[in-house]
Structure 1
Amino acid sequence: MTTLAPTLARWLGAADSEAPDHLWEPSDVSVLAAAYRTPASTVARTAMLTITGMPRALRPRIETAMVICIPSESELRVPGADPLTADWFTSWHRSHSSGPGSYIDCRQVLTGTEDELARLRDMVINLARDYGFTAELSLTD
């Protein structure tokens, strides 16, 4: 997964969204650093992130959450893979949800430690609850 500088992540999170910036960030930077520190001896797990009927304006929020919550390198490697289907590329599709507005879906395979994936799950589920879309992050191994 590509790592973005914090200022760039904030900019991307606010670029085309009306949602409040970084609802998940604590104001104390030391708490933030401790929360995202990953021990060297952790084992990577594989998970499937499935999002359905999400307002398109929230896309930067989900992508920023992935960068912040999963700082470890992806364990998914496919030699000679097309860059557009590589593990760092999240493929979004138009949703078939009814109603006004523009909605999108995605299914993304992710790897990370259990703690990293749990943090991402919490953030995504909170966004889904607050904005009325369906989201699930389930371990596949």
Structure 2
Amino acid sequence: MTSRVSHTTIDCRNAYELSEWWKQVLGYADIPDDPNEPGHEECMIHSTTDGHRILFIEVPEPKSVKNRIHFDLRSTDITQDEEYERLLGLGATLVADRRGLYGPGTGWYVMADPEGNEFCILKSDAEYAASLAGKSSGSE
């Protein structure tokens, strides 16, 4: 017997506002027939391509420590640096710049959403594929 992940849940102060922010970041949408509205204490969004769901639930206590679980985001159509700039424009903040941590061309950005939940920006799909191709050809 096994289990599966039904959805990812994020505790927050304002479920509607945070779900709206993450919809912009991920390109997710409201659940059909269950639109999120201001004042809702629980707001779910989903990927229209693979069905992954994220549920935002309002809780009374503020975030107080580093996340023990977080999203690692990989852009499908722009570079890591372009995605970093896009998310700054949406209101994310930089927590740490870990690029180059393991040598030139490696690493990630650690960022936080408007409520302080941390996530990482990895190399884009194209940048990652190019780094793998470089390794397999022996040139780095």
Structures share fold, TM-score greater than 0.5: no
Q: Give the number of the structure with larger relative contact order, counting CA–CA contacts within 8 Å between residues 6 or more apart.
A: 1
Q: Taking structure 1 as the reference length, what is the TM-score of the superposition?
A: 0.29
Larger Rg: 2
Q: Which has the higher helix share?
A: 1
Q: Taking structure 2 as the reference length, what is the TM-score of the superposition?
A: 0.29
